[in-house]
């Protein structure tokens, strides 16, 4: 079932990046700004959600000065609710709403409800549901594990109960009345046959209809429901009523039939038969009546019994949602594991006082080391005490959990009530000095404090431990919200720590004055909701030296009165023990005065002050302390590839290496004698690549050539390799960039080795070793060194199928741990730490995955020089360095120590060298490794022999099943890859076939077009030849016309030249005549005047001659002038004809050129485009040109 719900989701978390000093709370309600701020990535596991967007996105954020962020957003959810309808409609449901993270594991993000119930979930009182009412609600955690890790989860549970009133009024009451109505037929007389049948059948049909209607309200189910049982039983009741009616009717029918036969029985003479028929008649009638009477009582009684059964068994039974009793089943692989669990359960129900030292890891020896004898009065006595300080915080569930502590620095969370516990015990001294009481537990921030700076805490309890009376336990409550503790309730920056001092004022039996025990430590304050994983949780230890002196003049009375005074001043002081009473009642005991009391820390500080020339008064109170290099700021492990690698090397060491290299180059097959001592201190990083190649005997080019061949091939492990290279050395700059040079080198070398070694192929963790090699040499050389390491050094045996050799190495390491460090071996056995839990990553990656780079390179140096057995030296050295830490840790804390703390110890070059020296100094008898190997094989054989055949077969079956699963997985992968490839090939084949079909259709189409084009080309060629012949004929004709016109022009030119010559001759003769005439009449004035006028009015200047001149001139002159005028007109006419002829010639030449060009163009276009229409146009154009030429020629012929 899905239901809708509107919620306001409220979250409070800490983000130090948002801390500010504005002096007020910052409100952010702009959703665009909210999208740019970090918010925890959450999602609702079993629900669909969307935001409230009316009238804008309903979300806001409050940012406090200390970085605490309060975020609230309105959501509309549609969660799914699993309904159990076996008791429908009397059912109840529990609907869960789960909130988890979609990307961050428990190590990065944890969810928890607010401490107060009313703050965690607030529900509106006006919520009403049509079918249900809310019975209760609860909230809890639902952390779970996925393939990628453990994820935090919180769960809200809503308990719903269905409203039954509707179903009572709609179903149960009407149906019950119908069933009662069906009983009416039992009370009717037997004669009413129709009434009985009609009543029962009507009720049965009504019941069937009601059952169908009720079933429509619920989905189809595979199990019975309460309402289904109700209708089923009632249907049986009604069916029995119908059946009973039929039986009664049948009996009555027989009785009547016999009665009719008896009415005519006089016809029979057989009296016996008559009596028998009478008895049968009476029996049937009585049986019918008796059956009616029985059913009148039986039906209601059975119905009432059914109602009781229905209510008390069917409805009131447990629906599986809750249980009143639980059965706990314990199963453990350890033989006595279940017994231990049962013993713990039995102890939990015993009324025993809680152990105040629960969780403390302190020695509980009851004996005090007595040094010397009792001194005589007036002499000094030296005692030594020890204190343990632990701080516990309220976890929000009413319990106190120990705060993490490392390097004398506590990790505390602000605004949480804390419990400060101080345990005091005497270590040594001339006598036993029991602690009588504590009258004050004090706390303050800083060190080198005065007594007035300390603040008193609320005392919770004090007294000797039940297990050891010499151990005194003091517990006090610390409320950090108080103003006096403000410094210790303020979050400290990442680079700083704050000093804090805890003091306890103690009264010791036999000492006159009270003594104040100081414990100084550091602390880092986190926000209230900070999550700490399982890290070191151990107390801070401080030792004290007490020097006393016996006072002869004092007696026990003064001491007793002092103790009584102190005891009476503190109501929380417990009653004095019997031993102390005996001590106080001893009249011979004298009180001691304190000469000096100082802690070991104060002694060391005094020595430091003396060396620098400072006194105690010059030492100021210290509050802030910078963070040490080894302080862990978080619980996350070091990223692989982190750490600084020293590139410097002294000249002396470098000269030694250069001398060694010179000798080694002459004989690469044999190692120099002095190589081992030099490698012990590490190979210089500049020379490391070359030395590693020589140590692994990579001298030929064969493997390098193989590498270049292999990287060109395809590999089935590509997906695994690509997944691993992104998490290989992510802290190193060379490998950070995705698809960068470093990651490409890792991919190529890993792929090449997977193809080279098909048996091992690629195994997870191999990339870390490859990355270490790539940082010092070229890719092909790194591949060659990797092959040598895997084959010559035997590292590949660890990766073989089944990991049998790896299990052997685990066994050998475990036996070496038992021999070399038995205390740690016993502790690991006790808490359940197995070798493979911490050594698998060491051996499979050759310590390259977790440790800093400087340490990794040193380990590879030793490994290449000493061989595979170096792994045992390194492993034992690592365990031996931290044996004291491991002895104080439980299972989870130990695993976290292996993962987080242990690699951090070797971040410096000095610590890494120290580890290598300790590893090489371990005297491990490698012959024992062979013995352990034989022992391992014998144990395996014995296990198989002693094992029950069924168990052995089950184990073999399990192995085969795992192998089958692995093979099935590989088969599935290969099948998936095969199917994928087939699908790809199918797609490619389909695409190719489609392309082929398209190509074939295109070929057919083009072939058809080609045939058509050939036909068109043939016809066009024929037309072309025809046009060409036509053009040729036309050209010939035009050439003839042109030749004709040319001849006409030549004739015209000859005539013109001839006429010009004639005109010239006539002009010359005219001029001579004119001159002679003028000379003849020059003597006559009138004649001269007339001649001048005649010249003026000459036909050369005027076309018409005046009659006066004609009369006055001679006939000859007149005729001559007329002839001259006629010749002038003829010349002008010839000149005009010549000009027209030239113009016509030029026009014909131009038209001829245009016609030739147009013809060529039309032929080319017709050939290229295969269009017959062009030829028609060409022909028409030729005709037009031809017509125009003819018209021009005719026009010329018409010219006179």
Task: Name the 3-class secondary structure at 281.
Answer: helix
Count of other CB atoms within 10 angstroms of residue 1117: 16
| Strand ranges in 981-1088 using DSSP code E only, listed in sequence order | none
What confidence tens digit (pLDDT) does each residue in 427-438 have?
888 888 889 888
| Residues 886, 893: Cα–Cα separation, whole Å | 9
User: Which range among 705-719, 867-881, 927-941, 1160-1174 shows the weakest confidence by mean pLDDT?
Assistant: 1160-1174
What mean pLDDT is predicted for residues 1025-1034?
A: 84
User: Span 166-315: which CATH code?
Assistant: 1.20.58.390
What confidence tens digit (pLDDT) does each residue in 663-684 have?
888 888 888 888 888 888 889 9
User: What is residue 1021's predicted lDDT score, i.e. its pLDDT?
Assistant: 85
User: What is residue 1199's predicted lDDT score, i.e. its pLDDT?
Assistant: 42
Count of other CB atoms within 10 angstroms of residue 957: 12
Considering the chain, what is the average pLDDT of its residues? 77
Burial 127-149 (b: 16+ CB within 10 A, else e): eeeeebeeeebebeebeeeeeee
User: Which range among 504-518, 554-568, 1047-1061, 1070-1084 shows the weakest confidence by mean pLDDT?
Assistant: 554-568
Q: Which tokens go with 736? A: 């950070």
Q: What are the start and end residues of each CATH 2.70.170.10 domain in the chain?
A: 5-163
User: What is residue 258's predicted lDDT score, i.e. its pLDDT?
Assistant: 77
User: What is residue 616's predicted lDDT score, i.e. its pLDDT?
Assistant: 46
Q: What percent of the chain has pLDDT over 90?
A: 5
One CATH from 1.10.3720.10, 2.30.30.100, 3.30.9.10, 1.10.8.270 for 697-792: 1.10.8.270
Question: Residue 490: is its pLDDT beyond 70?
Answer: yes
Q: Which tokens go with 632? A: 């862990």
User: What is residue 1110's predicted lDDT score, i.e. its pLDDT?
Assistant: 40
Highest mean pLDDT among 154-158, 713-717, 995-999, 1149-1153: 995-999
Neighbouring residues of 522: CB distance < 8 A, sequence distance ≥ 6:
407, 408, 409, 410, 497, 498, 499, 500, 625
386, 425 contact by CB (below 8 A) = yes
Neighbouring residues of 41: CB distance < 8 A, sequence distance ≥ 6:
101, 102, 103, 104, 109
Identify the CA nearest to 524 among candidates 361, 634, 605, 421.
Answer: 634
User: What is residue 1106's predicted lDDT score, i.e. its pLDDT?
Assistant: 41
556, 584 contact by CB (below 8 A) = yes
User: What is residue 387's predicted lDDT score, i.e. its pLDDT?
Assistant: 92
1152, 1038 contact by CB (below 8 A) = yes
Task: Report residue 360's pLDDT band, with 50, 70 and 90 as the boundaries.
Answer: low
Question: Residue 1171: is its pLDDT beyond 70?
Answer: no
Task: Report residue 878's pLDDT band, with 50, 70 and 90 as the boundaries.
Answer: very high
Task: Report residue 544's pLDDT band, with 50, 70 and 90 as the boundaries.
Answer: very high
Q: What are the start and end residues of each CATH 1.20.58.390 domain in the chain?
A: 166-315
What confidence tens digit (pLDDT) does each residue in 908-961 have?
888 888 998 898 888 888 788 888 888 888 888 877 777 667 776 777 777 777
What mean pLDDT is predicted for residues 1071-1082?
A: 77
Question: Residue 556: is its pLDDT beyond 50?
Answer: no
Which of 1138-1145's residues contact partners 24+ apart within 8 Å by CB, and which partners? 1138/1052, 1138/1053, 1138/1056, 1140/1196, 1140/1199, 1141/1045, 1141/1048, 1141/1049, 1141/1052, 1141/1196, 1142/1049, 1144/1045, 1144/1192, 1144/1196, 1145/1045, 1145/1046, 1145/1049
Task: Report residue 617's pLDDT band, with 50, 70 and 90 as the boundaries.
Answer: very low
CA distances from 340 to 330, 334, 834 (A): 10, 10, 20
| Residues 600, 545: Cα–Cα separation, whole Å | 7
User: What is residue 374's predicted lDDT score, i.e. its pLDDT?
Assistant: 54
Element (H, E) at 492: none
What mean pLDDT is predicted for residues 589-593?
A: 71
> Which residues, in sequence order, are bridge partners of residue 62?
27, 70
CA distances from 412 to 399, 449, 475, 626, 1145 (A): 16, 21, 17, 17, 120
What mean pLDDT is predicted for residues 321-336?
A: 54
What mean pLDDT is predicted for residues 848-872?
A: 89
User: Which range among 320-329, 358-367, 725-734 shows the weakest confidence by mean pLDDT?
Assistant: 320-329
What mean pLDDT is predicted for residues 326-338?
A: 60
Task: Report residue 579's pLDDT band, with 50, 70 and 90 as the boundaries.
Answer: very low
The CATH architecture that domain 5-163 belongs to is: Distorted Sandwich (2.70)
CA distances from 1003 to 989, 998, 1010 (A): 20, 8, 10
CA distances from 481 to 48, 96, 422 (A): 41, 36, 21
Q: What are the start and end residues of each CATH 1.10.472.80 domain in the chain?
A: 802-931
What mean pLDDT is predicted for residues 313-320?
A: 58
If you write DSSP's letter for every residue of 370-405 in order, what string do you get? E-S-PPPTTSEEEEEEEEEEEEEEE-SSS-EEEPPE
Burial of 1145 (0-12, 13-18, 19+ CB in 10 A): middle
Residue 794, Ramachandran bin (φ over 0: left; ψ between -120 and 50: alpha; else beta): left
Neighbouring residues of 484: CB distance < 8 A, sequence distance ≥ 6:
455
Question: Residue 633: is its pLDDT beyond 50?
Answer: no
User: What is residue 519's predicted lDDT score, i.e. its pLDDT?
Assistant: 92
Question: Residue 330: is its pLDDT beyond 60?
Answer: no
User: What is residue 562's predicted lDDT score, i.e. its pLDDT?
Assistant: 33
Question: Residue 690: is its pLDDT beyond 60?
Answer: yes
Domain 802-931 in CATH 1.10.472.80? The answer is yes
Q: How many residues does the chain have?
A: 1200
Identify the CA nearest to 775 among candidates 863, 596, 650, 643.
Answer: 643
What confidence tens digit (pLDDT) does each residue in 269-278 have?
466 777 777 7
What confidence tens digit (pLDDT) does each residue in 72-90 have?
888 888 777 777 777 788 7
746, 734 contact by CB (below 8 A) = no
Task: Report residue 134's pLDDT band, with 50, 70 and 90 as the boundaries.
Answer: confident
Q: What percent of the chain has pLDDT over 70?
A: 78
User: Which range among 19-28, 840-849, 1071-1080 shows the weakest confidence by mean pLDDT?
Assistant: 1071-1080
Burial 649-680 (b: 16+ CB within 10 A, else e): beeeeeeebeebeeebeeeeeebeeebeebbb
381, 592 contact by CB (below 8 A) = yes
If you write DSSP's letter for every residue of 127-181 in order, what string do you get? ---SSEEEEEEEEEE--EEETTEEE-EEEEEEEEEE--HHHIIIIIHHHHHHHHH
User: What is residue 247's predicted lDDT score, i.e. its pLDDT?
Assistant: 85
User: What is residue 1051's predicted lDDT score, i.e. its pLDDT?
Assistant: 81
Phi and psi dihedrals of 435, rounded to 5?
-85, 125
Task: Tell how far CA 820 is from the center of its chain.
Answer: 43
Question: Residue 580: is its pLDDT beyond 70?
Answer: no
469, 576 contact by CB (below 8 A) = no
User: What is residue 404's predicted lDDT score, i.e. its pLDDT?
Assistant: 86
What confidence tens digit (pLDDT) does each residue in 38-78 have?
888 788 877 766 766 666 678 888 998 888 888 888 888 87
User: What is residue 389's predicted lDDT score, i.e. its pLDDT?
Assistant: 92
Q: Which tokens go with 952? A: 């052995």
| Residues 146, 133: Cα–Cα separation, whole Å | 35
Task: Tell how far CA 182 is from the center of its chain.
Answer: 67
Identify the CA nearest to 642 among candidates 579, 736, 539, 708.
Answer: 736
User: What is residue 588's predicted lDDT score, i.e. its pLDDT?
Assistant: 44
User: What is residue 623's predicted lDDT score, i.e. its pLDDT?
Assistant: 63
Q: What are the start and end residues of each CATH 1.10.8.270 domain in the chain?
A: 697-792
User: Which range among 629-638, 671-680, 846-855, 1068-1077 shows the weakest confidence by mean pLDDT?
Assistant: 629-638
User: What is residue 943's predicted lDDT score, i.e. its pLDDT?
Assistant: 74
| Residues 1047, 301: Cα–Cα separation, whole Å | 150
| Residues 943, 935: Cα–Cα separation, whole Å | 12
Question: Residue 366: is its pLDDT beyond 70?
Answer: no
- Say which residue the tokens 């390098």 belong to: 704
* CA-CA-CA-CA dihedral for 780, 784, 790, 791, to nearest 10: 150
Question: Residue 807: is its pLDDT beyond 80?
Answer: yes
| Residues 663, 654: Cα–Cα separation, whole Å | 14
Question: Residue 537: is its pLDDT beyond 90?
Answer: no
Q: What angle do CA 123, 128, 130 make, to 5 degrees?
A: 145
| Residues 694, 672: Cα–Cα separation, whole Å | 11
What mean pLDDT is predicted for residues 1062-1076?
A: 81
What confidence tens digit (pLDDT) does each residue in 118-129 have?
667 777 777 777
User: What is residue 561's predicted lDDT score, i.e. its pLDDT?
Assistant: 35
Q: What is the pTM of this model?
A: 0.42
Task: Report residue 622's pLDDT band, with 50, 70 and 90 as the boundaries.
Answer: low
């Amino acid at each position: 079932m899905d239901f809708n719900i509107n919620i306001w989701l409220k979250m409070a978390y800490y983000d130090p990046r948002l801390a500010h000093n504005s002096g007020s709370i910052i409100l952010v309600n702009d959703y665009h700004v909210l999208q740019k701020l970090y918010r925890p990535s959450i999602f609702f596991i079993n629900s669909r959600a969307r935001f409230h967007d009316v009238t804008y996105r309903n979300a806001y954020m409050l940012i406090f000065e200390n970085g605490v962020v309060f975020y609230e957003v309105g959501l509309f959810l549609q969660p799914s609710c699993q309904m159990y309808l076996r008791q429908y409609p009397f059912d109840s449901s529990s609907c869960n709403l789960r909130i988890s993270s979609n990307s961050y594991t428990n190590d990065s993000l944890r969810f928890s409800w607010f401490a107060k119930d009313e703050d965690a979930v607030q529900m509106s009182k006006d919520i009403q549901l049509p079918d249900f009412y809310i019975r209760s609600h609860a909230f809890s955690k639902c952390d779970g594990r996925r393939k990628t890790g453990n994820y935090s989860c919180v769960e809200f549970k809503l308990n719903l109960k269905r409203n039954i009133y509707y179903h009572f009024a709609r179903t149960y009451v009407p149906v019950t009345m119908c069933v009662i109505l069906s009983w009416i037929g039992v009370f009717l007389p037997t004669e009413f046959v129709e009434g009985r049948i009609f009543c029962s059948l009507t009720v049965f049909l009504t019941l069937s209809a009601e059952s169908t209607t009720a079933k429509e309200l619920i989905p189809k189910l595979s199990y019975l429901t309460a309402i289904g049982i109700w209708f089923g039983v009632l249907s049986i009741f009604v069916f029995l009523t119908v059946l009973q009616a039929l039986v009664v009717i049948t009996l009555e029918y027989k009785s009547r039939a016999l009665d009719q036969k008896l009415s005519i029985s006089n016809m029979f003479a057989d009296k016996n038969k008559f009596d028998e028929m009478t008895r049968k008649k009476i029996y049937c009638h009585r049986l019918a009546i008796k059956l009616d009477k029985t059913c009148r009582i039986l039906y209601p009684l059975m119905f009432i019994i059914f109602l009781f059964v229905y209510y008390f068994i069917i409805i009131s039974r447990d629906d599986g949602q809750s249980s009143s009793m639980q059965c706990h089943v314990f199963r453990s692989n350890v033989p006595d594991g279940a017994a231990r669990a049962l013993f713990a359960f039995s102890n939990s129900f015993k009324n025993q006082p809680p152990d105040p030292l629960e969780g403390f890891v302190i020695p509980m020896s009851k004996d005090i080391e007595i040094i010397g004898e009792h001194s005589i009065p007036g002499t000094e006595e030296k005692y030594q005490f020890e204190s343990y300080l632990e701080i516990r915080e309220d976890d929000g569930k009413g319990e106190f959990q120990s705060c993490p502590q490392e390097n004398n620095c506590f990790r505390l969370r602000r605004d949480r009530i804390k419990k400060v516990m101080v345990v005091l015990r005497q270590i040594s001294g001339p006598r036993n000095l029991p602690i009588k009481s504590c009258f004050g537990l004090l706390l303050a921030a800083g060190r080198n404090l005065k007594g007035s700076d300390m603040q008193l805490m609320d005392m919770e309890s004090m007294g000797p431990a039940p297990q050891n009376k010499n151990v005194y336990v003091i517990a006090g409550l610390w409320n950090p919200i108080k103003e006096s503790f403000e410094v210790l309730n303020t979050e400290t920056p990442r680079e700083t720590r704050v000093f804090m001092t805890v003091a306890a004022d103690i009264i010791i039996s036999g000492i006159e004055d009270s003594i104040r025990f100081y414990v100084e430590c550091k602390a880092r304050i986190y926000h209230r909701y900070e999550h700490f994983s399982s890290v070191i949780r151990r107390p801070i230890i401080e030792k004290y030296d007490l020097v006393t002196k016996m006072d002869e003049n004092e007696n026990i009375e003064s001491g007793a009165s002092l103790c009584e005074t102190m005891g009476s001043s503190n109501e929380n002081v417990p009653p004095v023990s019997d031993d102390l009473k005996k001590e106080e009642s001893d009249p011979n005991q004298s009180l001691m005065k304190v000469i000096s009391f100082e802690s070991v820390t104060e002694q060391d500080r005094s020595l430091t002050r003396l060396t620098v020339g400072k006194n105690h008064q010059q030492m100021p109170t210290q509050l802030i302390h910078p963070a040490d290099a080894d302080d862990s700021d978080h619980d996350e492990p070091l990223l692989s590839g982190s750490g600084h690698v020293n590139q410097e090397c002294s000249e002396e060491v470098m000269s030694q290496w250069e001398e060694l290299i010179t000798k080694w180059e002459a004989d690469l097959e044999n190692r120099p004698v002095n190589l081992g001592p030099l490698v012990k201190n590490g190979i210089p990083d500049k020379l490391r690549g070359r030395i590693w190649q020589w140590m692994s005997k990579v001298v030929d080019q064969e493997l390098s050539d193989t590498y270049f061949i292999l990287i060109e091939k395809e590999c089935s492990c590509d997906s695994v390799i690509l997944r691993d290279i992104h998490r290989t050395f992510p802290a190193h700059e060379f490998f950070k960039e995705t698809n960068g040079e470093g990651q490409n080198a890792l991919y190529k070398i890993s792929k090449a080795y997977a193809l080279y070694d098909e048996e091992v192929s690629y195994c997870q963790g191999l990339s870390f070793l490859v990355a270490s090699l790539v940082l010092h040499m070229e890719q092909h050389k790194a591949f060659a060194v990797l092959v040598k390491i895997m084959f010559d050094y035997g590292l590949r045996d660890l990766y073989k199928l089944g990991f049998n050799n790896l299990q052997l190495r685990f066994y050998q390491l475990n036996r070496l741990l038992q021999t070399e460090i038995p205390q740690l071996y016993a502790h690991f056995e006790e808490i359940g730490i197995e070798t493979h839990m911490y050594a698998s990553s060491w051996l499979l990656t050759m310590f390259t995955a977790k440790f800093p780079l400087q340490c990794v390179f040193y380990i590879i140096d030793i490994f290449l020089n000493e061989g595979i057995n170096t792994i045992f030296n390194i492993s034992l050295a690592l365990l031996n360095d931290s044996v004291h830490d491991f002895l104080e840790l439980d299972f989870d804390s130990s695993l976290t120590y292996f993962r987080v703390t242990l690699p951090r110890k070797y971040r410096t070059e000095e610590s890494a060298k120290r580890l290598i020296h300790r590893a090489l100094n371990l005297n491990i008898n490698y012959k024992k490794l062979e013995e352990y190997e034989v022992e391992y094989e014998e144990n395996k054989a014995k296990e198989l022999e002693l094992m029950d055949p069924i168990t052995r077969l089950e184990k073999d079956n399990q192995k085969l099943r795992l192998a089958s699963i692995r093979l099935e997985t590989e088969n599935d992968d290969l099948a998936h890859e095969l199917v994928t490839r087939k699908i790809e090939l199918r797609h490619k084949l389909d695409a190719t076939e489609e392309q082929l079909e398209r190509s074939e259709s295109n070929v057919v189409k083009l072939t058809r077009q080609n045939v058509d084009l050939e036909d068109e080309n043939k016809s066009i060629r024929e037309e072309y030849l025809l046009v060409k012949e036509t053009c040729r004929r036309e050209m010939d004709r035009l050439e003839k016309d042109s030749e004709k016109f040319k001849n006409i022009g030549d004739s015209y030119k000859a005539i013109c030249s001839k006429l010009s010559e004639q005109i010239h001759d006539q002009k010359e003769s005219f001029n001579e005549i004119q001159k002679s005439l003028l000379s003849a009449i020059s003597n006559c004035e009138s004649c001269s005047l007339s001649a001048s006028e005649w010249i003026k009015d000459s036909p050369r200047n005027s076309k018409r001659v005046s009659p006066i001149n004609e009369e006055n001139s001679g006939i000859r002159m007149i005729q001559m002038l007329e002839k001259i005028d006629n010749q002038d007109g003829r010349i002008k006419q010839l000149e005009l004809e010549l000009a027209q002829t030239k113009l016509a010639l030029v026009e014909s030449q131009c038209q001829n050129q245009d016609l030739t060009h147009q013809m060529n163009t039309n032929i080319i276009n017709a050939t290229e485009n295969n269009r017959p229409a062009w030829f028609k146009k060409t022909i028409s154009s030729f005709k037009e040109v031809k017509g125009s030429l003819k018209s021009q020629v005719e026009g010329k012929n018409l010219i006179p």
